[in-house]
Amino acid sequence: MHMEMIIVNKKRIAACLLTASMTVSLLTGCKKDTVPSETSSETTVAPSVSITETTETTPESSAFVTYTAQEYKDAGVNELNSVPVLMYHRIYGMTNAETEYTGGNVDKDGYNRTSEAFEADLRRYYEQGYRMMRLADFVSGYIDVPFGYSPLILTFDDGIRDVVLQGWNDDGTPVFDPTCAIGILEKIKAEYPDYNVTATFFVNSQLFENGEDNDKEIMKWMVDNGYDIGNHTKDHVKLGSCDAGEIEKQVGYMYKKLDEIIPGQYVNIIALPFGSPEVMGPDKPQYDKIFAGTYEGFEYTSEAALLCAWTRSYSPFVRDYDNKCIRRIRGYDNGGKDWDIEMNFEQLNNGKRYISDGDPNTIVFPSSDNSSGDWLKNTYGHQVITYG
Ligand SMILES: [Zn+2]
């Protein structure tokens, strides 16, 4: 069915002036050695739109605002394209000039970043039209960013130098070192109210290393102030080398601990230490324990697992997306090579990025992007709208 106009359920939001080429995203594989291969196509005829009703469409998805196919095209709306999930580790209170490595890296491999470089990263993502969203919402297929903008997800592993406590205010709120990750995030939050600053922190048994009593209070503050906390195993082990019992202990201990501190308020998501195992094959049934098990009487489940991978994540709506191996971009600088931030965002900004229609209950994309008929796979009950 083709129509000139289309009705969606949100108030009209002024389209931002982003443009993006019409591309087909045909990424394959979930393995580290696979380099994404992609092709592009151009549309020359006047675009039209098509709505596919799903039986699960929520009642709110009817209504009153209209976008034309041309408006989708002009904004480059494409919700089958890819999403950057950034993986950061420690943030050190240093200028870039104070490190001997490239562009704000604090170590040889670029796992740790200076506060100067991290703050500049955040400003650059904002200026390029990215807006933050919660990882937990992404895993649920609920992507809520304004029309014409792209989702950005921040994650931090290990807890070290992410949340550094300096003391407590009289009103009981924490005072953070302004150069640690959360210190900078709070600064950016105040400066850019429309950035939706949020991040998910993956911790081990030592939490944030401010002393357990302090960390418990900090974690309560964090979940009340827009941040999420997830599982990075008890001892930061390679789960790919563990038997089923050890996996259950490593994963279950951490969920149990989180549940004691912030009951029901942590995310059931695990960041795999060292990205291991990268592939969960049927020949390794013990890996199922990453996703469900019992530790000391405490039953846990994981909705998703994050790799230490090198590039952007698939949209949760496409065939090759796998919540058991969500890829992340390492937050480092390597002169635009080897999948550093610059290389990844150059690709994203040249036609590979997810660009939202502003409505989390619809999936909108150029019809040519699903010409195979099987690239769109998971609709999460959303209404599907194609144009072109
Ligand atoms: Zn780690």
Predicted confidence band of residue 37 (pLDDT cuts 50, 70, 90):
very low
Per residue in 360-384, pLDDT (tens digit) is 999 999 999 999 999 999 999 999 9
pLDDT at 105: 83
Residue 27 above 50 pLDDT? Answer: no
- The answer to whether the CB of 254 falls within 8 A of the CB of 222 is no
pLDDT at 98: 85
Predicted confidence band of residue 51 (pLDDT cuts 50, 70, 90):
confident
Q: How far is the CA of 130 from the centre of ligand 1 (A)?
A: 26
pLDDT at 45: 57
Q: At residue 287, what is the residue type? A: Y
Name which residue leads in pLDDT, 100 or 202: 202
Q: Containing H/E element for 65?
A: strand 65-68
Per residue in 147-185, pLDDT (tens digit) is 999 999 999 999 998 999 999 999 999 999 999 999 999
Q: What residues are paired with 269 via a beta bridge? A: 304
Q: How far is the CA of 327 from the centre of ligand 1 (A)?
A: 15
Residue 338 above 80 pLDDT? Answer: yes
Q: How far is the CA of 145 from the centre of ligand 1 (A)?
A: 29
pLDDT at 110: 76
Q: How far is the CA of 278 from the centre of ligand 1 (A)?
A: 14
In the structure, ligand 1 is a single-atom ion and the residues with CB under 5 Å from it are: 157-158, 273
Q: How far is the CA of 273 from the centre of ligand 1 (A)?
A: 5
Q: How far is the CA of 139 from the centre of ligand 1 (A)?
A: 20
Name which residue leads in pLDDT, 121 or 28: 121
Q: How far is the CA of 355 from the centre of ligand 1 (A)?
A: 30
User: How far apart are alpha carbons 34 and 68 in whole angstroms?
Assistant: 37
Residue 38 above 60 pLDDT? Answer: no
**Domains of the chain, each with CATH number or no CATH:** 80-361 (3.20.20.370)
pLDDT at 106: 75
- The answer to whether the CB of 305 falls within 8 A of the CB of 290 is yes
Predicted confidence band of residue 16 (pLDDT cuts 50, 70, 90):
very low
User: How far apart are alpha carbons 388 and 386 in whole angstroms?
Assistant: 7
Q: How far is the CA of 238 from the centre of ligand 1 (A)?
A: 10
Q: How far is the CA of 162 from the centre of ligand 1 (A)?
A: 12
Q: Determine how many CB atoms are found less than 10 A away from the CB of residue 98.
A: 12
Q: How far is the CA of 107 from the centre of ligand 1 (A)?
A: 15
Residue 46 above 70 pLDDT? Answer: no
Whose tokens are 């904004």? That residue is 75
- The answer to whether the CB of 53 falls within 8 A of the CB of 295 is no
Backbone phi, then psi, for 73, in 5-degree steps?
-65, -45
Would the pTM count as exceeding 0.75?
Answer: yes
Which residues fall within 8 angstroms of residue 159, CB to CB, at 6 or more apart? 201, 202, 203, 204, 206, 207, 208, 209, 232
Q: Determine how many CB atoms are found less than 10 A away from the CB of residue 12.
A: 13
Q: How far is the CA of 288 from the centre of ligand 1 (A)?
A: 20
Residue 303 above 70 pLDDT? Answer: yes
pLDDT at 42: 42
Q: How far is the CA of 141 from the centre of ligand 1 (A)?
A: 25
User: How far apart are alpha carbons 124 and 267 in whole angstroms?
Assistant: 28
User: How far apart are alpha carbons 210 and 327 in whole angstroms?
Assistant: 30
User: How far apart are alpha carbons 138 and 159 in whole angstroms?
Assistant: 22
Per residue in 213-234, pLDDT (tens digit) is 999 999 999 999 999 999 999 9
Q: How far is the CA of 158 from the centre of ligand 1 (A)?
A: 5
Q: How far is the CA of 202 from the centre of ligand 1 (A)?
A: 8
pLDDT at 29: 31
Per residue in 241-275, pLDDT (tens digit) is 999 999 999 999 999 999 999 999 999 999 999 99
Q: How far is the CA of 98 from the centre of ligand 1 (A)?
A: 24
Whose tokens are 């999948």? That residue is 339
Q: How far is the CA of 65 from the centre of ligand 1 (A)?
A: 45
pLDDT at 237: 97
Q: How far is the CA of 205 from the centre of ligand 1 (A)?
A: 12
Q: Hey, is 258 helix, strand or coil?
A: helix
Mean pLDDT, all residues of the chain: 87
Whole-Å CA distances, 382 to 53, 323, 359: 9, 18, 10
Q: Hey, is 327 helix, strand or coil?
A: coil
* The Cα angle at residue 111 between residues 349 and 119, in degrees rounded to 5: 60
Q: At residue 20, what is the residue type? A: A
Residue 1 above 80 pLDDT? Answer: no
In the chain, the percentage of residues whose pLDDT exceeds 90 is 75
Q: How far is the CA of 177 from the centre of ligand 1 (A)?
A: 22
* The Cα angle at residue 106 between residues 121 and 330, in degrees rounded to 5: 50
